[in-house]
Every structure is written in structure tokens, then in C-alpha cells.
A and B are shown apart, each in its own frame.
Chain A
Amino acid sequence: DTGVSQDPRHKITKRGQNVTFRCDPISEHNRLYWYRQTLGQGPEFLTYFQNEAQLEKSRLLSDRFSAERPKGSFSTLEIQRTEQGDSAMYLCASRVPGSSYNEQFFGPGTRLTVL
């Protein structure tokens, strides 16, 4: 499968624990995006990378959220000291360089439940 993959697909954790999600973009896609989607809402942009550089992070929800893409390939999103309000679907997307439409290809998401 050559699409965007995310791991794990589901994560249940207790409040206060740290969680980390992984995203593997489509090969050679240099841009990678993270979104959060809460129930009944559209995805909400969090951050994005071009290669290993994080070009926008002001929209991360709080300082408990951080993302990395150390080698310009896969990316991780970490949430520290999770809260019940962090329960959501976390989506990753990637984009081919030079695309005239700027379309993004989405992974299946990681569903986080904070108890």
C-alpha cells in the first residue's frame, strides 16, 4: 500500500499520560500535515512540515502538543499530560511537491480516547 499510513489506529490512555502517534507519508511527498478532528466537526489544522522543517506550529493547541519530522520522512505527534478534551481523531496528510492543486492525501487517522 502506497498511501499515507498512521500508527496506531486506536489509542486509549488515562488522563495525565503521554501519547505519541506516528505518520508515514506517501513516498517523496515533502509536505506533511497534522490535523485534529473532534466528533461532528471537520478536521482542524495543527501543524505542517516541509521536509524536516516545521513551518507552522502556532496552531498547535497548547504547549502539551509537539511534532517532529527528524529525517524528513515519517513524523510523530506527541501529546503530553493528556486531558479528556484531547479525545479526538488525529489525521495526517501529505502532499506531492509542485502539485498545481495543493491537494492533500489523508491517512486513516489515529483515534485517541482519554479516560
Chain B
Amino acid sequence: AQSVTQPDIHITVSEGASLELRCNYSYGATPYLFWYVQSPGQGLQLLLKYFSGDTLVQGIKGFEAEFKRSQSSFNLRKPSVHWSDAAEYFCAVTNNNDMRFGAGTRLTVKP
């Protein structure tokens, strides 16, 4: 069965510092992988997606993610965090039907 693990429940970074959010997945075939961001009380906004091709994918708001099949990982990165990036981040995998989400990583940005 497909599953997603986000090992970090909460991360705090200083504004301007780099960021990496971890995501590990378990899936029997080539997965469709996603990162979504959710602000308090809001729905989910798609940051980026991966299915095939270049393993380094670029998304919106300056985010990127790298697919590493050997590590079953799809970590999200940003070189310089802005205060507006404070939110909850979810990694997800789908098999064309339902989408499985990780438990999320809450990002706090210090001034």
C-alpha cells in the first residue's frame, strides 16, 4: 500500500535561511508525487509535482524538490525562506485514484 512519511512535525528557520522539508514514500510503482502548502484555515495549494523526467523539479514561490528513487524520497527545498512561507506543508503520493498525504510539517519563520 502506498504511504507517505514526513519525519519532521515542526521546523523553525530564520528568514533568509535555507529550508529542506523531508518526505519519504512507499509505493510499488512509479509514483506521482506532490508537495502542497496550506495556510491556517485554508485549502491546499499545489507547490510542485513529479511523475517522470528530470528528478529536480521547480515549483511556485521559489520552491524545488528532488526525487531520489534509491532513497524513496522527495524532499522540498528553498534557498532563502520568506516570512510569508510560514504554513503547513504536505507531501502526497497518488496512484491515479486516491491521494495519500503525509501528516505534514509546520514551518515557523523567525524574523
- Chain A interface size band reads 20 to 34
What A residues does B45 contact at CB under 8 A? 106
Known: A43-B90, A100-B51, A103-B34. A48 touches B46 (CB 8 A): no
Residues of chain A within 8 A (CB-CB) of B92 are 42
Given contacts A91-B43, A106-B43, contact A33 B90 (CB under 8 A): no
Task: Please name all residues of chain A whose beta carbon is closer than 8 Å to the beta carbon of B43 when the two chains form the complex.
Answer: 4, 91, 106-109
List, in ascending order, chain A residues with CB within 8 A of B103's CB.
40-42
Point out the residues of chain B lying under 8 angstroms from A111, CB to CB: 41
Known contacts A41-B104, A42-B103; A106/B44 CB under 8 A: yes
Instruction: Note all chain B residues with C-beta closer than 8 A to A4.
Output: 43
Residue of B nearest to A100 (CB): B51
Contact partner of A42 (CB less than 8 A), chosen from B41, B42, B102, is: B102
**Is B101 engaged at the interface, CB distance under 8 Å to the other chain?**
yes
Report if A65 contacts B (CB, 8 A): no
- By the criterion CB–CB under 8 Å, are A101 and B102 in contact? no
Q: List 7 A-B contacts (CB under 8 A).
A: A42-B102, A43-B44, A45-B99, A101-B32, A101-B51, A108-B42, A111-B41
Q: A48-B97, A56-B97, A100-B51 are in contact. List 17 more A-B contacts (CB 8 A).
A: A4-B43, A41-B104, A42-B4, A45-B98, A45-B99, A91-B44, A101-B49, A102-B96, A103-B32, A103-B34, A103-B46, A104-B94, A104-B99, A105-B46, A106-B45, A109-B42, A109-B43
